[in-house]
Amino acid sequence: MKTYKIAVLAGDGIGPEVMQQALKVLEVVSNKFGFAIQSEAALVGGAAIDEHGEALPASTLDLCKRSDAILFGSVGGPKWTNLPPAQQPERASLLPLRKTFDLFCNLRPGKIYPAFAELSPLHPRTSSQGMDILCVRELTGGIYFGEKGRSQDSAFDTQTYSVKEIERITRVAFEAATKRNNKVTSIDKANVLATSVLWREVVSRIAKDYPGVELEHMYIDNAAMQLIRAPKHFDVLLCDNLFGDILSDEIAAIAGSLGLLPSASLNGSNFGLYEPAGGSAPDIAGQGIANPVAQILSAALLLRFSCGEEAAARAIEAAVEQTLERGIVTRDINPQSTYSTDDIGNAIVNAISYKENAGA
């Protein structure tokens, strides 16, 4: 039987709560589709600082290196904000993981589920019904990884992008567009930033290799506005590291909640890191009310990109959709809801199992 080895790094805050649901789903779907998931958990982020004094212990990194993929929860929270910036969970675990494995390509697929389009914060000003956007975010360059500094009276961050870095993420966006609706909107601030001028030049050149794909350039400020005004205008959104971080949270909110948006961080091999786009949500951690959908959909992306188990990935996505359509949602989506994190996980597991029985 095919066996996939997965490093499970649940992290902090709601991370362990939503991870538990994703593992349940992986178990039922692997049984159904006839493969095995061998998962091994390790500490990361604040939880690892508390236990080992560092956010990414060598043992955790070693587990990741021995695995086919990483299923990541989320890291960070108020408990660790007084640490020196470079030792904080996000900077000292997630960013090094992305860099170590050269995970330059971050895919964040955001779509609105028809059943609760009216619950979107945009309703009724804008119909977001039908929104289906793939945010392709550059993940290992830009201002996140440039030189930083701090003196008593000032601080600086620097942003550098090389032609190669822009080329490789641009190709991913165009390839994705050919399999979707043949449109790429490239986001920049070319009226101000030198890196954005280069970004625009390189993207325009690569676009010539894809004559069937429409390219539009859009400034980040306008894009932030157009996403709210007309989300259906977009197909593939090509962003640098910082702009993609910001716009992907916006896409999640338009879709209904940050708790819905999964992500895949890839490097061109089968290996990948999969995590919700949102964070550790300290404001709701420990209450059993976090939305596990982003974590569960991240597990589906893991099966698709790292394991090649497309049918299993689709089965999870269909079960999620069916569950949401039945109104089984957490309160981030419907404030009247009394469903718990566990209820959502169980409903998705049942939706997968029910189909199994129906097909038997």
Ligand X SMILES: NC(=O)c1ccc[n+]([C@@H]2O[C@H](COP(=O)([O-])OP(=O)(O)OC[C@H]3O[C@@H](n4cnc5c(N)ncnc54)[C@H](O)[C@@H]3O)[C@@H](O)[C@H]2O)c1
DSSP-based three-state secondary structure for 301: helix
90 binds ligand IPM (CB under 6 A): yes
Choose which of 165, 245, 309, 343 interacts with Mg ion (CB under 5 A): 245
Out of 111, 189, 235, 240, the active site residue is 189
DSSP-based three-state secondary structure for 134: strand
Whether 223 has a binding-site annotation, put simply, is no
Rounded to a whole number of angstroms, the minimum distance from the CB of residue 295 to ligand X is 7
Q: Dmax over Cα atoms in the chain, in whole Å? A: 69
Closer to Mg ion by Cβ: residue 245 or 309: 245
Whether 89 has a binding-site annotation, put simply, is yes
- Ordered DSSP codes for 61-78: HHHHHTSSEEEEEE---G
Catalytic site residue 24?
A: no
How distant is the alpha carbon of residue 217 from its chain centre? 23
Q: Which distant-in-sequence residues (6+ apart) come within 8 Å of 260 by Cβ?
A: 110, 252, 291, 293, 294, 297, 333
- Nearest Cα residue to 315 out of 30, 2, 8: 30
235 binds ligand IPM (CB under 6 A): no
Catalytic site residue 245?
A: yes
Binding mask 263-292 for ligand IPM (x = CB under 6 A): --------------x-x-------------
Whether 140 has a binding-site annotation, put simply, is no
Rounded to a whole number of angstroms, the minimum distance from the CB of residue 251 to ligand X is 13
Whether 283 has a binding-site annotation, put simply, is yes
Closer to Mg ion by Cβ: residue 137 or 331: 137
H or E element: which one contains 200? helix 194-207
∠232-235-241 over CA atoms, to 5°?
A: 115
Rounded CA separation 248/306 (Å): 22
The CA–CA distances, whole Å, from 189 to 12, 147, 159, 218 equal 34, 20, 13, 8
Rounded to a whole number of angstroms, the minimum distance from the CB of residue 301 to ligand IPM is 14
Choose which of 332, 347, 348, 352 interacts with ligand X (CB under 6 A): 332
Task: Identify what 258 binds: ligand IPM, Mg ion, ligand X, none; CB under 5 to 8 Å per kind.
Answer: ligand X
Q: Which distant-in-sequence residues (6+ apart) come within 8 Å of 137 by Cβ?
A: 105, 106, 107, 108, 169, 239, 240, 241, 243, 244, 245, 248
Closer to ligand X by Cβ: residue 77 or 141: 77
Choose which of 138, 275, 309, 343 interacts with ligand X (CB under 6 A): 275
Whether 88 has a binding-site annotation, put simply, is yes
Closer to ligand IPM by Cβ: residue 90 or 309: 90
329 binds ligand IPM (CB under 6 A): no
How distant is the alpha carbon of residue 344 from its chain centre? 19
- Nearest Cα residue to 18 out of 289, 332, 257, 215: 289
Q: Which residues bind ligand X (CB under 6 A)?
A: 14, 18, 74-77, 90, 94, 257-259, 275, 278-284, 290-291, 294, 332
Site residues, ligand IPM (CB under 6 A)? 90, 94, 245, 277, 279
Residue ranges of the binding site for Mg(2+): 221, 245, 249
Name the residues annotated as catalytic: 144, 189, 221, 245, 249
